[in-house]
Amino acid sequence: MTNTFGFILCIIYVFGMIGLAEGLRRWRGYGSGFTRKVIHIGVGMMSWFLPFLFTSPWPFVAACGGFMILNLLDWRYGFFNAMQSSNRSNLGTVYFPLAAAVVALVFWDQPPLMVAALMPLTWGDGLAPVVGAAYGRHIYRIHTSTRSLEGSAGFFVAGFVFTWLALWVMPGLPDISPVQALLPALVIMAITTVIEAVSIWGLDNLAVTAAAILILRVWPF
């Protein structure tokens, strides 16, 4: 597959996820808090296919740069209702593609680590507010952000499952067994759960990913 074709597929996929989320918003009446996370998880899962779409990280980095600009314009002017946040100080949709671009550059030759580094952000941060909204009873507040212990638990569990799977299932080097993947996944999620709990202004999208990158860089696989 050529990089150009991979780039086109990447763009189509992302806009397809936005269209799906917008369809759910209109058809089922879901709020943007839910549909944002549909896009968040769907786009994050694209990381599993990056080694098959591109021969180098740079076309993907270029796509991420384009979506950073688009997401910033959307944050400012509100093009996509399914992506809107009720917190106007939250630039998480802008930080997400930046985090993905950095991960691709750092771990391009190590696909299991590349995908694993994005799973706390993809699934942990994706499901935490959904779980918190549905089941949150024990509320805590950090600055202007309101979270729940149930949501933080959802962050940990969802992120752990998919970080562990990425380390184990994703083909490429390092070759990691399911048992070897358990401890780094647990450490990553223990640390990133705390980081997510205390982050403000959408900076968890950067801080969570930075912590995952650092742990995976130093872990003796």
Tens-place pLDDT, residues 167-208: 999 999 999 999 999 999 999 999 999 998 887 766 788 999
What is the span of the domain harbouring residue 134? Answer: 3-218
Q: Look at residue 135 in the predicted model and tell me its pLDDT.
A: 87
CA distance 57 to 133: 36
User: Please, which residues bridge with residue 145 across strands?
Assistant: 142
Instruction: Tell me if 22 sits within 8 A of 80, measured CB to CB.
Output: yes
Query: Would strands 139-142 and 145-148 be described as parallel, antiparallel, or unpaired?
Result: antiparallel
| 140 φ/ψ angles, rounded to the nearest 5 degrees | -140, 155
Alpha carbon dihedral 69, 19, 28, 97, in 10-degree steps, equals -40
Find where tokens 């995952």 sit: 212
Number of H helices, E strands in the chain: 10, 2
3-state DSSP helix/strand/coil percent for the chain, to nearest 5?
75, 5, 20
Digit-coded pLDDT (tens) for 13-40: 999 998 888 888 787 777 766 788 888 8
| Total domains, the chain | 1
Confidence of residue 1 (pLDDT cuts 50, 70, 90): low
Q: Return the minimum-mean-pLDDT range out of 120-129, 136-145, 176-185, 205-214.
A: 136-145
pLDDT value at 212 more than 80: yes
Span 137-162, average pLDDT: 85
Find where tokens 């694209």 sit: 46
